[in-house]
């Protein structure tokens, strides 16, 4: 069975069945954000401390992400 066939079958499920399926699939994936190394965190912290990059608010971050998604 191809991914396209699985998708069509999944879309034919009831909302409740789709929610259950999505939850089960998400449980098989690693938690988001766990692949950032300590070195990456330190590098970004140093960039902020040095002024090389400017911090933004959470609201600004969300606004920018939404703007890019709607392109």
Domain that residue 57 falls in: 38-71
Assess whether 42 and 21 both reside in one domain: no
| Residue numbers in the chain where pLDDT is lower than 70 | none
CB 48 within 8 A of CB 55: yes
Assess whether 25 and 48 both reside in one domain: no
For residues 5 and 23, membership in a common domain is answered with: yes
26 with 44, same domain: the answer is no
Q: pLDDT by residue (tens digit) across 35-46?
A: 888 999 999 999
C-alpha dihedral over 63, 64, 69, 71, to 10 degrees? 110
Q: What is the pLDDT of residue 35?
A: 80
Question: Rounded distance, CA 58 to CA 62, Å?
Answer: 6
Give the pLDDT of residue 40: 92
The tally of domains found in the chain comes to 2
């Amino acid at each position: 069975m191809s991914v396209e066939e699985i998708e069509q079958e999944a879309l034919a499920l009831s909302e409740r069945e789709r929610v259950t399926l999505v939850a089960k699939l998400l449980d098989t994936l690693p938690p988001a954000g766990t692949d950032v190394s300590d070195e990456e965190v330190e590098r970004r912290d140093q960039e902020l401390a040095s002024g090389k990059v400017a911090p933004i608010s959470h609201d600004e971050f969300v606004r920018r992400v939404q703007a890019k998604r709607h392109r």
